[in-house]
Amino acid sequence: MITLLTGKKGSGKTKKLIELTHEAVVNTKGNVVCIEKGDTLTFDVDHNARLVNVEGYGINGFEVFYGFISGLCAGNYDITDILVDSTLKIGGTDLNAFTSFLAKIKMLTDSAKVNITFSVSADSAEFPEEIFKLAEIK
C-alpha cells in the first residue's frame, strides 16, 4: 500500500510522518525504515526504526530512488513499513516522473508486501490524475 502525506511546506507532514513511524514500530512484527534527506529526524524517530539519510548514498532522481528502495526490500524481507520524508527533495519536482515512480513502487509494494508512506510538499490538486489510482492521499 502507498500513502501520500500531502500539503505545502509547514503543514505538519513531517510531524505526522514521525507519528506514523512510532505507530508502525509499536504495531508491526517486522522492521520499520524511515528515509530522510539530511539528518533532521535523528532525535525524533523511535530508535527501533532504522533511520536512513539518503545523502550518504548519492540518491538523486526517482529512478535511482526506486532502485534504492527496491534494494532495501530485497536485502531485508522483514521490512513491513517504509516512511519517506521530503520525497520531492530526494527525487525531484517533476510530478510526471513522480507518477511513474509511484507506478513502479506500487508493483513493489504488492510483491514485497510492504507499506510505503511518502511526505510530498505539494497540494494534491497539482497531482496528475493517475496518482489517485496508485496511492491513498492524506
> How is residue 93 annotated by DSSP?
S
Question: What does the pLDDT read at residue 10?
Answer: 80
Domain count, the chain: 1
Residues 5/117, Cβ–Cβ less than 8 Å: yes
User: Can you tell me the mean pLDDT for 40-69?
Assistant: 89
Question: What does the pLDDT read at residue 114?
Answer: 96
Question: Would you place residue 43 in the very low, low, confident or very high pLDDT band (cuts 50, 70, 90)?
Answer: confident
Percent of the chain beyond pLDDT 90?
77
pLDDT digit string, tens, across residues 103-120:
999 999 999 999 999 999
What whole-number distance in Å separates Cα of residue 30 and Cα of residue 80? 5
Question: Would you place residue 6 in the very low, low, confident or very high pLDDT band (cuts 50, 70, 90)?
Answer: very high
Strand partners, 79: 31
Question: What does the pLDDT read at residue 41?
Answer: 78
Instruction: Name residue, grid cell 534527506.
Output: 37
Domain range holding 40? 2-137
Under DSSP, is residue 43 helix (H, G, I), strand (E, B) or coil?
coil
Share the mean pLDDT of the chain: 92
- Cα of first residue to Cα of last residue in the chain, in angstroms, is 13
3-state secondary structure 84-126: ECCHHHHHCCCHHHHHHHHHHHHHHHHHHCCEEEEEECCCHHH
CATH number of the domain within which 113 lies? 3.40.50.300
What whole-number distance in Å separates Cα of residue 89 and Cα of residue 130? 21
Question: What does the pLDDT read at residue 11?
Answer: 83
What whole-number distance in Å separates Cα of residue 84 and Cα of residue 100? 17
